[in-house]
Structure 1
Amino acid sequence: MDKRALFDQFHRMESRVSSVGEDLRDIQTKLDQLIEENTTLQIENQHLRDRVDYLNKQIEADAANAEPEMSKSRLNLQKLYEDGFHVCNVYYGSRRLDDESCVFCLDVIYGERESRN
């Protein structure tokens, strides 16, 4: 084998190895960035899950402390009142003029619920 051919072959091989080394360094840099980004996203994801759990528990606690809904009969009285009729024992059944408010009616509909608190 010719020394010059051997030297040229060695030089080409050295160039390829050098190129592969550069490619490996680039891949390593990108891999490091991806690992760092993945770790950051995992931490952020866990914080968001914790926040969602906290908010869900808070919503459940608020729902447990919320006032119970009105009974069916009170809902019927409320509907009559909204339709423009008195539901109080003072003016029961008469029309409310210009949809004016009536404290007696409001007390009949909502009064006992507010006194429970």
Structure 2
Amino acid sequence: MNRDEMLKQLSQLEKDIKQINESYDQLKNMVVALIEENVTLNLEIENMQMFINEPKKEEAKVPKKSTVLQSKDNLAMLYAEGFHICPTDLFGKHRGGEGCIFCLNLLSDKK
């Protein structure tokens, strides 16, 4: 194999690696978007189930939510505003538009 062929192969390999990295980044962004949407939909389902299961009494005009659900809603709002909510050293820091799997895991946790 001569030098020109090796350089062509290296150049092609570099292009292939760049294409794979671009595809990986696109796929990662799609996964993060789907996870965020899933967390949002799960929170909406929980809120709707609480609304449906709420007793229909006259004295219960103010909807009562559990403390856990209120806390989860607050965390979801903070995450939506772009802040980390995961129990790491990043807590409270701005995410810079990037998704965080640890934050999303915390929001989707069914404890």
- TM-score, normalised to structure 2, is 0.50
Higher relative contact order (CA 8 A, sep 6+): 2
Larger Rg: 1
Q: Please, what TM-score do these two structures have when normalized by structure 1?
A: 0.47
